[in-house]
Structure 1
Amino acid sequence: MKIERLGNDKIRIFLTFDDLSERGIQKEDMWHEIPKVHDLFTEMMDQAYSEVGFDATGPLAVEVFALPAQGMVVIVTRGKYDHHHHGGPSPYEDEMSEEVYEMEVTLEQSDTILYSFDDFEILIEAAHVLQHMLADAGRLYKYNRKWVLHLEPEELEEGKQAAIIAVLAEFGEATSVTPAMLEEYGDVIMADNAIGVICSHFKRQD
């Protein structure tokens, strides 16, 4: 579990699939009201307080993004939710009423694949390995001093997603950044066909 402060009233939490499985939670469970999911939210808020001083008392807006290769991105914003103006209470509120949290939970699923690379030379290596599977795919960003490769599901050949993710995981690291954050805060280096462009302009190291 990785926690990052985005502002005075906002944090981002990155949960890997290992984080979920260690707690007996499947990705699909995040869409259901079950005690272990509530326990996970409580644990996240406790850790957020101890690590970055985020006080989760009062109303919270919680956005959960499921990413296919990376895990879950949870964005928590404090003070943005008032159920009196949202047509009724959150489905999570009743079970959590004994605690300090009131949550308005939004769940979204994305098939976008995002991997970051510390070194451009490593990205070149990965691109050459991927070239036969992803000749005309990829959008490349520079974000937080890292190179981030963005792949959409329609760019992937059917049945090859697992192999592509295995290569990406070997050379890069799953990132918790969302496509919207890349568009807003990142720099677009290659708008499309990043794999092909990299391979045509940069050779692998001997």
Structure 2
Amino acid sequence: MSTTRIDLIRHGEPEGGNVFRGRTDHALTELGRWQFAERVRRFDSRWTRIISSPLNRCHSAAEQLASARNLPLLCDERWAEIDYGDWENRDVSEVMAEYADDSRRLWADPLNFCAPNGEPVPQLQQRVGAAWQELLNDHRGEHLLLVSHGGVMRVLAQQLLSLAPEAMNRLAIPYAGLLRFKIDHSEYQGKEQVWVSLEGMDGSVLRPDDQEAV
């Protein structure tokens, strides 16, 4: 039997305020850069490589960490956030008021949700699931750090933990929130068996004046 560990960390706070960010490529704020570095400090591990969404709010921090640790960095488009289409870069409260029925569906029935001209959630599930399986096939036995987005992390957790679809939006994943998955690989009667468990998580909101962060 072998074990793979994959730590998923959300990017820190980006510029642009409270908007449907999706594929909008905002950079991190100063606070966002600190949040990412602080979460890494708290959960520091002997990662073997880093995988990142290509969007700036993920890739910039991942690239800096990979350079500092002399780790290989893989950038994969499949780990990018969902495309919100016509909602991209629009204020969340304004969109929820203008598209009340659609926004309610996002929370109540996410598998049938798609922002106007955006990416359907099942399509997000498909690309994220394929990327995850590729990581397990190519990097079995390693300890990976995956830098991605809140929507991606919720969809993946829902799939891996067999949660009800509507439960994915009940997972609080703040900026620089982290999920740690343990994947045990074994064989039974000549067939590969894979068992995934959530080994740890940190959903605390990080602020520089937080006493725990001192």
Higher strand share goes to which structure? 1
TM-score range, shorter-chain basis?
0.3 to 0.5
Which has the higher relative contact order, 1 or 2, with Cα contacts under 8 A spaced 6 or more apart?
2
TM-score, scaled relative to structure 2: 0.32
